[in-house]
Amino acid sequence: MNKEIEKKEKREKRKGEREEIQEIEKCIACHKKTEYFKSTPIDQRKYYVKGCGQLCEDCFDAIYD
């Protein structure tokens, strides 16, 4: 999954100055990159905890299972 995220980041960077570079959201527990941009609305994300923030799938499962 990290390679897929890196490809998204590179694509956004290649667009250059015409478009704003979008940052990838990081997990609040382990700080790994998630599959979501910071600009992605929270109601369109998985593993988002209101009042806390974005978790990766592994941390979400570890905490809530």
Strands 24-26 and 33-37, sheet pairing? antiparallel
Of 12-16, 53-57, 58-62, the least confident: 12-16
For residue range 11-30, what is the model confidence (pLDDT) as tens digits?
Answer: 666 655 555 678 999 999 99
pLDDT recorded at residue 9: 66
pLDDT recorded at residue 65: 87
Domain definitions of the chain by residue range: 23-65
| pLDDT, averaged across the chain | 85
Rounded to whole angstroms, the Cα distance separating 54 from 31 reads 10
Q: What percent of the chain has pLDDT over 70?
A: 69
